[in-house]
Each structure stands twice: as C-alpha cells, then as structure tokens.
Amino acid sequence: MNEFYQKDIISIKDFSKDQLEKIFESTDKIISLNPIDRREICKGKTLGYLFYEPSTRTRLSFEAAMASIGGNSLGISDITSSSTQKGESLADTVRIISIYSDAMVLRHPLDGSSRFAAEVSDKPVINAGSGTEEHPTQAIQDLYTIKKEKRKIDGLKIGIVGDLKYGRTVYSLLHGLGNYDVDVRLISPESLRIRSDSTYEIKKKLDYTESTNIEDHIDDLDVLYVTRIQKERFPDEEEYLKVKGSYVVGLDLLQQMKDDSIILHPLPRIDEISTDIDKTKNAKYFQQAEYGKYTRAALLGLTLNENGF
C-alpha cells in the first residue's frame, strides 16, 4: 500500500526526507503526464474545503489541482455565508464536510485546529494554514521549487527575511529544511525573530544564524525567501507600524546578489518585493505558485489512491 494513503497532512514534521523526495517524484510525474491520463488519478473523487481565513493561492491551487486529476471540489471559502454564523461548531462543520467529500482542506486562525479537525473527521485532513503554527503544503511547494530551480537543496545558502515570528510558512519551511544540509540565515527586525518555543526543535536539525541586516548576507545567498510582515497577526497595531516596510527587495539589492540566485515568496506580497523584480530571471515566486498546483495534485493523488498513481 502507498504510505500516504488516507494520511492526514498536519505538520511538515511528520514527513521524512525520503517521503518528501517521494512527493517530489510524484509531482514530477504529475507534470509529465498528459492531461487525459492525469484526469484518471482522482476521477470521481471529491475534495472538501473549509477556510476560516482569506486565501487566494492555497484554496484555488487545491481546487485547480483536484480538477486537473479528474476530481471535483466543494466547500466553504467565506465562513460568513455558512452555518457557522448560526453558531455551528468547528467540529460539526468538519464532520459535515467530511460526509460530503473524500478528503478535506482546512485553514483556521488557531494553532492546533487541523490536528483537532483530524480527530473528528473520518476523512483525511490537510492543513492549509493553522494560526501562526504551520502551513505544510506551502513548505512542500517551497522545497520543490528550490529543488527544481536550483537542481538541489543540499549545500545551498538560504536567507529567510521578514516576519519570522508570526509567519507559519517560515516554521514549516524551517522544519522541512531540517531534512537537508543547508546554511540558513534568518533576517528580521528584533521584534519579529523566530519564536523561542520553536528554536529548541529547529536547532536540533538545522544550522542557522539570526541577524537584522540583510546587506550582511545578500551577496552570499543562493535563495532569498521573502515574507510579508503580517499586519493581521499583530496584537497591537503600534508594534506593526514600527516594523512595517523594514525590508524591501528592489533592483539595488538584486544587483548585490549572485547571478544565479533565486527569490521566492509564499505570497501575497504587499511592498516587500518591488514589482521591478518580477521580470528578472531571479524572480521565481510566480513559478513557485504554479508548482503549488502540481505538488498539491501529487499530494491528493497519493492521499486518495491506495496504490498511488
């Protein structure tokens, strides 16, 4: 039996390097298949989704991924139009969606929400972002992008800049990178350094340094992973205003980077990457969003087929 069959996808920490590499191979297969064969993979299967927070890429890439492998999707993208407004609990909403679908995708503002949903759902639950904790399918997409664009992950120097305190994509990426031999530079304002409750676990698997100055690292990096400073996660707007606009990647900074370096961003971006960068060969964030569709199609194909595809 395929080891991913009917498994929840809650945390990137639940995946070994071997398993990540198998997902990357399956993603390559998805890309290489012709559309007719691809549509056989999840023919007749249904993906449910439940988003308690806004999303463009994650929800639409799951929906596009499911359609590309022959399945269909249904769900709630705007919680204000659901019976949550009448007081229905998360547990009951999850149970109902799991009745109507073969697997479900959940985004929720609370840490632990996906693990809780997995306990009440009869069908596999995929975490599409849980509070400030994790966004595992984003990390799989990020690692796949690095591997495709740099032809390797081991040996790379990777800078991660921006909101490292509240950025759930950052935690999932750091845990994912812990499976590889990489040199990581964490760059953030003092007040947005990675949370100390996570450093103990990350330090066991990963070599990283922390600093506030992007200029100290920029000419040495193979990958620059930029994140948005997330206004909505700050308990106090005054604190947000102090760090807003701390880092802006523009052509001046790009000129200091290695010619073959790549710039990634989970998106959405606000102003942390200048639009001048978009047309340069180093900008890979839109390609990264496209890979998200293929990695998610691979994950769904593996989760929903006993013998894989």
Task: Clarify whether 7 is annotated catalytic.
Answer: no
Task: Clarify whether 185 is annotated catalytic.
Answer: no
Task: Clarify whether 58 is annotated catalytic.
Answer: yes
Question: Which residues of the shown chain bind ligand CP in the complex (CB under 6 A)?
Answer: 55-58, 129, 138, 266-268
Task: Clarify whether 175 is annotated catalytic.
Answer: no
Nearer to ligand CP, 31 or 60 (CB): 60
Q: What is the Cα–Cα distance from 2 to 304, expressed in whole angstroms?
A: 10
Q: Which of 135, 147, 265, 293 is catalytic?
A: 135
Backbone angles phi, psi at 68, to 5 degrees: -70, -25
Nearer to ligand CP, 55 or 98 (CB): 55
Nearer to ligand CP, 218 or 277 (CB): 277
Across 209-239, b (16+ Cβ under 10 Å) vs e yields eeeeebeebbeebbbbbbbbbbeeebeeeee
Q: What is the Cα–Cα distance from 289 to 97, expressed in whole angstroms?
A: 26
Q: Are residues 153 and 182 in contact, defined by beta-carbon separation less than 8 angstroms?
A: yes
Task: Clarify whether 217 is annotated catalytic.
Answer: no
Nearer to ligand CP, 139 or 218 (CB): 139
Q: At 113, list the tokens.
A: 């929400």
Helix/strand/coil for 9: strand
Please, what is the minimum distance in Å from the beta carbon of residue 265 to ligand CP? 9
Q: Which of 45, 59, 107, 265 is catalytic?
A: 107
The residues, any chain, with a CB within 8 Å of residue 60's CB and separated by 6 or more, are none
Q: Which of 80, 86, 204, 281 is catalytic?
A: 86
Q: Which of 7, 38, 45, 58 is catalytic?
A: 58
Half-sphere exposure of 144 (CA within 13 A, CB side): 30
Q: Which residues participate in catalysis according to the annotation?
A: 57-58, 86, 107, 135
